[in-house]
Amino acid sequence: MAAEKSVTFNRDLHKLILANGQSRSGIDSNDFLVHSDDLQGMRPTDLKEALRRTLSGDEVVVHVTHDDNVDEEYSMPEPISFRFSEGQLAISVGHSSDQYDEDKMAAAEFSTLLAPYLKRRRASVTKVEMNPHYVNPLIWDIEICGSPRGRDMADLFKVGEGALALLQAFESGELTRETTLDLLRSGNAQVLIGQEEGPWLDVKSAHYDLQSPSGKISIAQAVARFANAEHGGIVVVGMRGKKVPGGEIINSICPVPVDGRTLRSYQTAIEQHLYPPPDYLDIEVVPVDGGGLVVLHIPPQPEEHKPFLVHGAILDGKIEGAFISIVRRRGESSIPITAPAVHTTLAAGRALLRRGELPRNPE
């Protein structure tokens, strides 16, 4: 039995009909407006079939709004839409910029910047064009094709949102952990110069000495700080920080030598000295002129896995191999997790094992 269509087109009404019975009118013959919530569960193949039936010109555009009431005349559409042309459905991202005035330069820059991000999301840039109807600021229409397999239209919309956020971060310098990681992967580490180190970003100008016990403990502690923190973080080896009033900023790129053993050396040191292993810890080398950057990405970790313990400690410059250390990131600094906090965690775990429930806090 065929699955019910998640969206269809009613030719008589000239409306898209959603699976829940709601309808979305066309702005004109080849433009429609839907709510972002409409995209949940909407299959790309169903939308392509619906739009194929509407086509009376070269393309059909489905605009998306977050406004509570969808009104074709007054609702504000998002800069991310879907275009159906020549049998293909693509994500269209409208990016405003005053930094480019040449089509070829923008196309190359945008495509290079977005490529690592999109590759991980099974998508790619297929077209970059300047919108002729806008001058100040310029509007660039960036077309992205993404694999529909295992996705609904909401997933594809999120791909467009991420691409737009990355483009905006590249030009404004307003970074998140996710956009910073994508900028590093795309070879745009220079965007980070002048940025502050903070709760989720730490840089180091030279390799950890992974031949010594102190170096192995140090890299394990660097990862543990972010694993024990709320939002995860990124450690970049190959960038230099500079102290300024109120904190520390990233001052320059200083590539470190890398070879076929670099990643394994970092992985081994962390495996030997950090427990439990952080979920989805990613260690990679980003090539830059003169060497590379070693990028360690620590996603936010489940609370039930914390605290992450480092086997070994450095006290007054001396290695204490029989000790464990527990650290986490706070702002630009690292702080130890206190004995009372560790005891509370252990006591709660024992109570859960013994009684099958956590103890209640006293009133």
Q: Which listed CATH number (3.40.50.10490, 3.20.20.140, 3.40.190.10, 3.30.950.30) goes with 193-355?
A: 3.30.950.30
User: What local confidence, expressed as pLDDT, does residue 294 receive?
Assistant: 98
Q: What's the chain's average pLDDT?
A: 87
Residue 102 has pLDDT above 70, yes or no: no
Q: What is the pTM of this model?
A: 0.71
**Which band of pLDDT confidence, cut at 50, 70 and 90, is reported for residue 357?**
low
Averaged pLDDT for residues 257-267: 96
User: What local confidence, expressed as pLDDT, does residue 335 receive?
Assistant: 47
**Which band of pLDDT confidence, cut at 50, 70 and 90, is reported for residue 363?**
very low
**Taking the domains of the chain in order of start, what are their residue ranges?**
7-172, 193-355
Q: For every residue of the chain, which 3-state class applies, written as one string?
A: CCCCCCEEEECCCCEEEECCCCEEEEEECCEEEEEHHHHCCCCHHHHHHHHHHHCCCCEEEEEEECCCCCCCCCCCEEEEEEEEECCEEEEEEEEEECCCCCHHHHHHHHHHHHHHHHHCCCEEEEEEEECCCCCCCEEEEEEEEECCCCCCHHHHHHHHHHHHHHHHHHHHCCCCHHHHHHHHHCCCHHHHCCCECECCEEEECCCCCCCCHHHHHHHHHHHHHHHCCCCCEEEEECEEEEEECCEEEEEEECCECCCCCHHHHHHHHHHHHEECCCCCCEEEEEEECCEEEEEEEECCCCHHHCCCEEEEEEECCEEEEEEEECEEEECCEEEECCHHHHHHHHHHHHHHHHHCCCCCCCC
Residue 42 has pLDDT above 60, yes or no: yes
pLDDT in tens, 111-165: 988 998 999 899 999 999 888 777 677 889 999 999 999 999 999 999 999 999 9
